[in-house]
Amino acid sequence: MPVIIGIVQVFLTIGAQYWQLRNPDLGRVPLNWWGYALLLVGPLSIALRRRAPVAALAVTLVSTSVYMLLGYAYGPVFLSPIIVICTAVLSGHRRAAWLSSGAFFLFVVAYATWFIPHRASLFHHTAVAAYLLLTLTVAEFYRMRRERLAERERVEREEARRQASEERLTMAQELHDVLAHNISLIHVQASTALHLLDDRPEQARTALTTIKQASKDVLTEMRGVLSLLRDGAPRSPTTGMAHLADLAERSGLPVALKVVGRERPLPAGVDRAGYRIVQEALTNVARHAPGSRVTVRVAYAPEELTVTVEDDGSGTARAEAGLGGGNGIPGMRERAAALGGSLSAGPRPGGGFRVEARLPLPPSEDQKEPM
């Protein structure tokens, strides 16, 4: 761009001086080597405007002022000041741009009043002021627009990072629940198999079959969760309330599943949270009271989904060592609270343990009022 501006300023000024020299009242002098040099100072400053915008601004305005004082023809010499003023504003040197423009305006007024054969009118001064103000206003407009775009991009990047963090947290929670449930189930069934291997091998075979299925399930679910890391993988839950029957069957516990109300599609978060709460509750029963009879009750209401897991406490009370505390009830409560719901957990009056989660639901299509 500096080369193009230099060519434009030199050749168009040659054309401008041809007409201005024919009017002796203007007091113009023909270009010489000094005039050509001044015409090229502005383009050279433009080449350095990004590295030193304030210096480029000062050099360009001073060279333009000297050019005018020497009486050369008016023309595209004013193109360079426009560019360096805009660059100064866009690079953040607004004060320097406005002060330099004001000083240049005062110089032009003084020059047009005392240094030319015929004093310029008020209209001339107003036109120069409008010329400079228009240049500064356009530069300020683009500066604000660029700042707004930069802020929007920053907000979008922050939002993308936040969503990525939430997705990583969700995947970590999913992995925790998958591993905690299936490894606890494998541990409990392995302990049962070892205990029954000599005396009741047929029952030990059942426990080993459960271990085989649980190990297969944990690999399948882990692949489903980790697939979210792949580019283009669908971000949909790998499990949901539709799989509760399979979960109950492979839990190694006598589970009775009851569904109350009309089943309907659930939001992805509620669907996944309900499944994981049941999974964690069954894990706790298998870990602490294996053999207990369990009732899983799912109630669909217009405005909420209620999930209840109760065991009768008839199994053998056991605290499994080496499994760690896990996330347990606090993790289930966090899942419910994240969706605006609630979770209660505690011993039942007649023995056993009870977990109940209430998860809010949006109104179904037939409940929405017509517009």
Write out pLDDT tens, residues 138-158.
999 999 999 999 999 999 989
Residues 86 and 53: their CA atoms lie apart, in Å, by 10
- Mean per-residue pLDDT, 164-183: 71
At residue 16, does pLDDT exceed 60? yes
Residues 231 and 219: their CA atoms lie apart, in Å, by 21
Q: Are 185 and 146 in contact (CB under 8 A)?
A: no
Beta bridge partners of 356: 308, 344
- Mean per-residue pLDDT, 18-43: 81
Q: Are 183 and 218 in contact (CB under 8 A)?
A: yes
pLDDT in tens, 46-91: 888 888 889 999 999 999 899 888 888 888 888 889 999 999 999 8
Q: Name the phi and psi angles at 257, rounded to 5.
A: -105, 125
Ramachandran assignment for 361, one of left (phi > 0), alpha (psi -120 to 50 degrees), beta (any other): beta
At residue 4, does pLDDT exceed 50? yes
Residue 10 vs residues 20, 255, 305: alpha-carbon distances, Å: 15, 92, 80
Residues 101 and 340: their CA atoms lie apart, in Å, by 59
Residues 140 and 95: their CA atoms lie apart, in Å, by 12
Pairing label, strands 304-311, 255-260: unpaired
pLDDT in tens, 128-141: 999 899 999 999 99
Closest to 80 in 3D by CA, of 120, 118, 135: 135
Pairing label, strands 255-260, 294-300: parallel
Residues 311 and 275: their CA atoms lie apart, in Å, by 17
Higher-pLDDT residue of 229 and 245 is: 245
Maximum average pLDDT range among 17-26, 219-228, 265-274, 326-335 = 265-274
140 burial via Cβ count (<10 Å: 0-12, 13-18, 19+): middle
**Per-residue model confidence (pLDDT) at position 348:** 87
- Mean per-residue pLDDT, 13-38: 79
Q: Are 278 and 356 in contact (CB under 8 A)?
A: no
Share of the chain above pLDDT 70, in %: 84
DSSP 351: S
Residues 58 and 265: their CA atoms lie apart, in Å, by 69
User: pLDDT tier at 263 (50, 70, 90 boundaries)?
Assistant: confident
**Per-residue model confidence (pLDDT) at position 327:** 61
**Per-residue model confidence (pLDDT) at position 95:** 92
At residue 323, does pLDDT exceed 80? no
Beta bridge partners of 300: 305
Closest to 291 in 3D by CA, of 180, 181, 188, 184: 188
pLDDT in tens, 186-200: 777 777 777 777 777
pLDDT in tens, 103-115: 999 999 998 888 8
pTM assigned to the model: 0.51
